[in-house]
Every structure is written in structure tokens, then in C-alpha cells.
Chains A and B, each alone.
Chain A
Amino acid sequence: MVADGIKPWCAGISSGTATGWPLTDWLEDIIMRQQGVDFYDQWVAHDVPFNDPKVADSLDELGAILKNPEYVNGGIGDVSSIASTTFQDAGLPVASGQCGMYHIGDFYGSIFPQGTTIAEDGDVFAFALPVWEAGDSMTTEVGGEFATAFSDRPEVVAFQTYLTSPEAANAQAASTTTSRVSPNSGVDASLYPSPVSKLSAETLTDPSAVVRYDGSDLMPAAVGSGSFWTQITNWITGQSTRDTLDAVESSWPAN
């Protein structure tokens, strides 16, 4: 793409007080691919320090993409524009052809302007971030919702059981008002109205799929919705990989 005169990547992490979160997902996606999900699990649980050298490797990999002025920031500007562009705006240059790719959750389909055809042969489409080396199993980072029961009355249990059924998942899949995707292997993927949801569902229900929750969501709030966001924002505006990871590690709550 660079040879064709197109910046391959666009990125934007501005999101009010949550500024920085899209980069945490980027880093987590790289860690679970490059270092493996076992390491990822240890890192999220803080069994290895946040600033483990392997994490530094992965963050440098991310830097090789996002801090390279040849690669970013398609249709938006230079590297410094990543910090000031909202995550909603950052993917729009993909639709206008000024940018090749944008790393974001599958919800982004609904943000493209009206009239954008989202399909394999349309204006824009999605693909899962590839595996690190050929032969690795596909890993996917997800965010999820829990159906929590606060009572064990029979009707509550019955409804909770229904929610886990393919019937409930199919009814949800057919809805056009939500982009939720079910990992239930009994779901008929053809019911999803959006081709991106269909792709997500196929990725999730693949028997060999490895799925991990968003690490920053699992970490203590002081890190996962605090220092991780702040420090990775500082990182994209110029702070070194080492200082960034050290600062997050030192902010990990003691208890």
C-alpha cells in the first residue's frame, strides 16, 4: 500500500476520559498472538509484571506500525494526530479510500456514513487480525456481557437457561438493533443482518477458536481503566516503551 501512495493504517484513540483504550486492545491483540495466550493470561492476572520484557517486545511491534510516519495516519495526518483523533472519526478515511486499514471492534460497522456498502465486495469490509506465524491457532479478543441471576427462583433459572439456548441466540442474531454476536455454536450465522457480525460469529464459533477477554477490562480499574490508558496515550505522543510499562507496573494496586 505504501508503494501505491496510501497510508496503510489509520488510528485514533481520543475518547474523553477513556482516551487511550483503542491502543490497549491493539497491544493485547499483539501480545496474545506474539507471546501466546498462556503468557497473556499470566500478564492480565499480574502473575508476570506488567512491564515484562515480552510486553515491551510487543509494544515495540505496535510502535513499528503506529509510530512509523510511512504507515500512519491515513487521511488524517501524522503520528501525533493519533492522540487527538476520536476513535469514531479515525476509521472514516477507510471508507473514503485515504487509508487502508483500521484496528477496532466489530461495532465500528455502524459508524461508517450512510451509504457505505459494508461487504466483502463492497466499499469496506472487516478481517480478523492474522495469526503471528503460520500454523498458530486464531486468537480473538472479545468483550462480553454476563446474564447474572440475583435469585434462584425457578422462573429465573428457566429464563437464564433460555438465554443460553441457540433459540435465544438466533433471535438476537436476527435483530437489526444490536451488533451482539453469540459464541453459541448452534447459531445460524446466516441470520446476522450485517456481514461483519456474520464474520465475527464465524470466527467465534470456529471449533479451533481461542478467545480471550479484553485484558484491560479484567485488570483492576486503577490500571485497566486508568494508568494503562493514560500511559499508552503518553507512549503514542512520544514517551518511551520502557517508561510507559514501568509507570503502569508501579500503579498496580498493592492488594
Chain B
Amino acid sequence: MSVPEKFGQALLALAIFGVVLLVVLHIAGRTSTRAPRLSIALFLGPALALLGIGLAYPAIRTIVASFFDASGRNFVGPANYLTLVEDPTMQRVVLNTLLWIVVCPVVSTAIGLLYAVMADRVRWEVLAKTLIFLPMAISFVGAAIIWKFVYEYRADQPGIQQIGILNQLLVWLGGQPQQFLTVEPRNTFALMVVMIWIEAGFAMTVLSAAIKGVPRELLESALIDGAGPVQQFLQITVPMIRSALVLVLTAITIAVLKVFDVVLTMTGGQFATSVIANEYYAQTFRFFNSGLGAALATVLFAFIVPIVIYNVLQFRKARIS
């Protein structure tokens, strides 16, 4: 097929899609007053069908596959889950993921909050906030490559130049260059820094907007009642922006659970830095162990579900109040 033919086909597909959409909307528009059920079905049907094909069906297939062996042909019961619990490499993968969940969201949110408060109403607020927000604009892979260079190690020997800024600083300060990415367990924390670097900007943006929404009168009356800045912050600001804090924490937690690009780019999951999302990919697509890969994906799913439920409940509570 030639290039113009390909474009022709794409345009044709778009046109057909547009026509179908118009027909559906037209029917829905005509029937809405007389037959609300039909119009509801017409509007929800396609979305539900796509969700079913794209989300529900693969999820069920994955859960089923997690009880089968590497080839996906023989039923093995909970053997893949037992591997996750018993195999030292897999234990490490799960432990690393838990470490990521515990450290990254809290540290990112804390830095974001601190920055949002400190940069609030200072002279160069826009510039200061732009600086911390910028990493958000970089892809995870791009950020990971940048930090790989930051951490780059060269031995401290005659004729050898450091090319990583962190090790160069260490050498200038009279220290020894360090292997940041190959020495465990600290390498996992070195990887987390990349995530925090990105997510702190997100936290700062959301929290800064929330802080600006805190009524001035409340803070002023607190001031009149004799509350210092710390007390104002803890007793007024933090409770007032609670829902934003929860949103930020849960959003970052979900992003962290799915962390893949940073690990893949910086260590490839080597040196005991692998996490569930990375290991799932490796097992399924590199080692062709679809059973273990599916089990990893299912565990990841099980980790995410409670957070999503909590998020929805918080959202509802916020709407009711």
C-alpha cells in the first residue's frame, strides 16, 4: 500500500466513524423525550462496550492467566503467587515496590507542600514555581536519562575525568566518587529521586492552588487569636486543603505503582532495583513466562484497587459536604 493510499484509508475510517457518530446522536436526539431508556442505552452502550473489550476482558484474562504456567496451557493453581512469595528475586521486587509506595508519595507531597507555602506571595513566585514545575513537562524516560548522567560514575584515577555532576561535586569536596546505581539498596532510593523530582512539581501546583483558595479572613482571625505562622499552617491551612492533599497523595501513589520507565531506563531492573511493573514486562515479554507476568500484573492491580476506591469515596464525601 502506498503512502497516499494509507492516508486515504485513514481518512475513510475517520469519515465512517463520523457518520456513525452523527447517526447515533441524531437517533438519540429524536428519541430522548419519548424513550429515555433508548437514549441512555445509545449513549452508554458504546462506552460500556469499549470498556468491556479494552478493560474488563483483558483484566479477567490476565487474572485467569496468572493461574497457568509459562506457556499459558497448563493450570498450575497458585504456583505463580507462591513464586512471588518464595523466590528471593521476586520478594525483592515486591519489597522494592512497597518501598516506592511508602517513600515517593509522602516525600513528593511534603516537598510540594513546603514549596507551595514558601513560594506563596513571594516576589518571584511565578519564576520560582515554574522552576519546580518544569520537570513535569519532561517524560519519565527523558528524566531518567538526565539523572543517569547526573549519577554517572568514573573512578577517581589519574587521566580519568568525572562526567556525572554528582560525582564531580563529591570529588571537588574531597570525597570519593560513588556508584549510585549499582550498589544496593541505596540505588533504589537514587531512582526514587527521579520520581520525586517530577512529582513534587505536580504536588506543588495542585497544593498551591488549594492554598490560594483558603479564605484570608480565616487566617486573619487566627492571627488575631494569636496563632503563629506554624500554628496557622497546621490548624488552618492543612485542614482546609485536606482533600487536595489526599488527591495529590493518591494520584502520586498510583503513578508510583506504575513506575516502569525510570527503572527500565536507568538500571533495566538490574542490581536488585526491579519493581512489579518492570518485572511484569520482563517476565511476560522478555522471558515469555506469561503466567508469572500475569500474577505480577494481578498483584499490581490488587495494590491499586483500594487506593482508587479510597479516592472515589473521598471525592464523594467532598461533593456531599
Question: Which residue numbers of A lie inside 8 Å of B, CB to CB?
Answer: 15-20, 73, 75-78, 80-81, 83-84, 98, 221-222, 225-227, 229-230, 233-234, 237, 247, 251, 253, 255
Contact = CB atoms under 8 A, between A and B. Distances in A.
B257 interface: no
Interface string B63-90: 0000001110000000000000000110
B182 interface: yes
A-B residue pairs, 7 tightest by C-beta: A77-B155, A17-B268, A222-B287, A226-B287, A83-B182, A16-B268, A19-B270
B121 interface: no
B289 A253 contact: yes
Contact of A76 (B152, B160, B181, B183): B160
30 contacts: A16-B268, A17-B268, A17-B269, A17-B270, A17-B286, A18-B268, A75-B159, A75-B160, A76-B154, A76-B155, A77-B154, A78-B155, A78-B157, A80-B153, A80-B179, A81-B154, A83-B182, A83-B271, A84-B181, A222-B70, A222-B289, A225-B287, A226-B287, A230-B269, A234-B272, A237-B182, A247-B89, A253-B70, A255-B70, A255-B71
A15 B265 CA distance: 10
Given A77-B155, A80-B182, 13 more contacts: A17-B282, A75-B160, A77-B153, A84-B153, A84-B181, A225-B287, A226-B287, A230-B89, A230-B270, A234-B272, A253-B70, A255-B70, A255-B71
Contact of A221 (B183, B267, B287): B287
B198 interface: no
Contact of A77 (B71, B157, B271): B157
Contacts of B155: 73, 76-78, 81
Contact of B268 (A19, A76, A77, A247): A19
B288 interface: yes
Interface of B: 69-71, 88-89, 152-155, 157, 159-160, 179, 181-183, 264-265, 267-272, 282, 286-289
Contacts of B179: 80-81, 83-84
A20 B70 CA distance: 24
Nearest to A73: B155
Secondary structure type dominating chain B contacts: loop
A226 B271 contact: no
Contacts of B157: 77-78
A161 B297 CA distance: 47
Nearest to A15: B268
B69 A255 contact: yes
Contacts, number: 76
A233 B287 contact: no
A233 B153 contact: no
Nearest to B152: A84
Nearest to A77: B155
A222 B179 CA distance: 28
A20 B268 CA distance: 11
A19 B265 CA distance: 12
A188 to B, nearest CB: 40
A225 B269 CA distance: 13
Contacts of A19: 267-268, 270
Contacts of B182: 80, 83-84, 237
A224 to B, nearest CB: 9
Nearest to B181: A84
A233 B271 contact: yes
A77 B160 contact: yes
Interface centre among B183, B268, B269 (most CB of A within 10 A): B268
Nearest to A224: B287
Contacts of B282: 17, 226
A225 B153 contact: no
Contact of A20 (B153, B270, B286): B270
Interface centre among A17, A80, A237 (most CB of B within 10 A): A17
A225 B154 contact: no
A237 B160 CA distance: 21
A197 to B, nearest CB: 30
Contacts of A83: 179, 182, 271
A250 B271 CA distance: 19
B78 to A, nearest CB: 16
A81 B153 contact: yes
B299 to A, nearest CB: 19
A78 B155 CA distance: 6
Nearest to A81: B155
A247 B286 CA distance: 18
A236 to B, nearest CB: 9
Given A76-B154, A84-B179, A255-B70, A17 B159 contact: no
A251 B267 CA distance: 21
A214 B265 CA distance: 26
B117 to A, nearest CB: 39
A12 to B, nearest CB: 12
